[in-house]
Every structure is written in C-alpha cells, then in structure tokens.
Amino acid sequence: MYLSEEQIRPHLQYEILIPAIRKALIDYSLGKVEQPLRQVIRVKDDAGEPAGWFATMPAVSGEFMAVKTVTFFPGNASIAGQPTHQAIIELLDRATGQPLAVMDGRLITEMRTAAVSAVALDALALRPVKTLGILGSGVQARSHIAALRLVQLGFCAPGAVRIWSRNPANAVQLAASVGAAAVPIEDAAACDVVVTVTSATTPILLGRWLMPDSLVIGVGAVGPRLRELDDDVMRGCLVAESRQGAEAESGDVLLSGAQIHAELGEILAGKVAAPENGRRVFKSLGMAIEDLTSAVAVWRSLGN
C-alpha cells in the first residue's frame, strides 16, 4: 500500500500527533526504542560542489518497525513545486517483518518536527508565554506556528507571533497568511519563545538579542559543522532530543562546547528536573522514532 501526501493529510492531526510524540520521546529516553544514528551521504553535483544530502533513518518500537529515506537539497527552493526536503517512510510489522505501507514522508517530517517543538514548549516554558519569534519563513515556520498555537493559545493573539526571514518578502507573505507580523531579526529574537527554522550554516541568532529567561528551540542546522545559534545562545541550559544525536550531528552543540543538561524525554519521564530559571535551549535534530510514531498514527487512523 502506497499513501501519498494527499492521502495522509486527513489522517495526521496535531491533536493526536503531539501526545503520541510526547510518549515516543519518553520511550526513547527510557531505552524502549532501538534506533541507530541516521546514516548520511553528502551529495555533490557534477562539478563536485555540495548539492544536498541523503539519509536513512530506521527505528524499532512496540509492534512496529520503520525506515525513512530522506533528502535535503536547499537549491530546490528556487525550483517551483520542488520541496527542499523529500522523504519516503516504510512501515513494517515487528513480529513478522512484513511491510505494511509505504508513505510519502514530506508532510510527516514537517508535522512531526513541529510536534516535537510543541512538546518541548509545553515541558520547558518557565511561565505563561505571550510572544513567539520565528526565524525562517518556509514550511517549518508555518507548521511550527500551527503546532505551537495549540499548546499556547496566547500565540493566537494579535501581534503575538513575529516572523523574520532572510527573504523579507517571504516573511511578509507568511505573516499575512497566519495573522503575524514581519519584523527585524532583533525583534523576533526578543520574544518569550524563539524558534529557528532556517537553512543557515553559520549562526544567525545572537544571544545578546534574547531575553534572560527565553526558551530557544533550534530546529535547523542539522550537521556537525552547521550552526544557527551563537555561543552566547548555547550558554543557556541545554536540553536535547537525543544525547547521541546532538553529540554527533549538531554543530550548535559540538562547536560551542555546550553541555547537555538532559534529554527532553528524561524530563518528561521525571528522571531529570526541568531547568527552573534562566535561558533554556532545546536542540531538535529529528529522530526515526518520530517518523515511526507518525506513520503508526496514520496507519491506525485508516482503521488498521
């Protein structure tokens, strides 16, 4: 059975996905998930210049197994109708190894990433938050606004969401479509919660712009040499999706020398206390268990 993005969309809702992802993060940190690091091939064009990357991400959990193949080609942003991220997810039965379904993975990747950030916001916010700064204007920016508004209704208020993009026209367009404001980067950074969802390779968010007790959710910059956050940002209390992943795949962590306080799943499970004051930084890199969890949600919604 192959499920296209159009077939998946009615069966993948944040109201179901966010709590499912929360449980998956707990299971991962409690050792209930078998998941190796993703394997990444850096792809070059005919001239030998970097063009993108191709990765495989397997996981085993509960009754299911899954593997995602995913590509990221940033140059696709200039090609009409061609997403920068594209993926396929195969869902299998754990007991027999039988393939159950093959699903387009683009929407699943988009939504599960935002769902993880929503779980992090719910777990790590120190107080009621009122403002959300978004750095970036692509599909992840839009999906994060939708998911985070479900967790924090205050983000639905006029002026609560502030968007910056290296492409100002894109920021204006996104802001108009979601009821937000397009602002300079310093204004987006001066929010209670700041989310970075860019394709930057060097830091774009500077710690001197942040409030002392802000929550930063870093989503872009997946790779040991890539960064979105400067060293000052990374001096906040750092919570990771996965220690193993952050220590192998995050330039923000590796190049700053930041120490990980806890995995998000450890905090959710009550194994480690959440930080009680000061700046908090959550580094998201994406994990195969999140893709498996999302694919299972779709599979079960279809009546299986």
The DSSP element (H or E) to which 177 belongs, if any, is helix 168-178
Would the pTM of this model clear 0.85, i.e. be above it? yes
List, for residues 204-248, the tens digit of each pLDDT value: 999 999 999 999 999 988 888 999 999 999 999 999 999 999 999
**Which pLDDT score is estimated for 29?**
97
pLDDT band of residue 5 (cuts 50, 70, 90) is very high
**Which pLDDT score is estimated for 263?**
97
List, for residues 13-53, the tens digit of each pLDDT value: 999 999 999 999 999 999 999 999 999 998 988 888 888 88
In this predicted structure, the answer to whether residue 81 has a pLDDT above a threshold of 80 is: no
Length of the chain measured in residues? 304
- Rounded to 5 degrees, φ, ψ at 124 are -110, -10
Mean pLDDT of the chain: 94
Contact indicator for 281, 216 with CB cutoff of 8 Å: yes
Q: Which two tokens stand for residue 272?
A: 């480690």
Q: What percentage of the chain reaches a pLDDT higher than 90?
A: 85
- For residues 286 and 25, give the distance between their C-alpha atoms in angstroms, rounded to a whole number: 11
**Which pLDDT score is estimated for 304?**
86
Q: What end-to-end distance do the CA atoms of the chain give, in Å?
A: 12
Task: Show the domains of the chain with their CATH numbers.
Answer: 2-108+289-301 (3.30.1780.10), 121-286 (3.40.50.720)
**Which pLDDT score is estimated for 80?**
72
Count the Cβ atoms, other than its own, within 10 Å of residue 10.
10
Q: What percentage of the chain reaches a pLDDT higher than 70?
A: 100
**Which pLDDT score is estimated for 78?**
81
Average the pLDDT over 110-115 and give the result: 97
β-strand pairing of 64-72 with 85-93: antiparallel
**Which pLDDT score is estimated for 199?**
85
Average the pLDDT over 93-115 and give the result: 96
In this predicted structure, the answer to whether residue 183 has a pLDDT above a threshold of 90 is: yes
- For residues 118 and 100, give the distance between their C-alpha atoms in angstroms, rounded to a whole number: 29
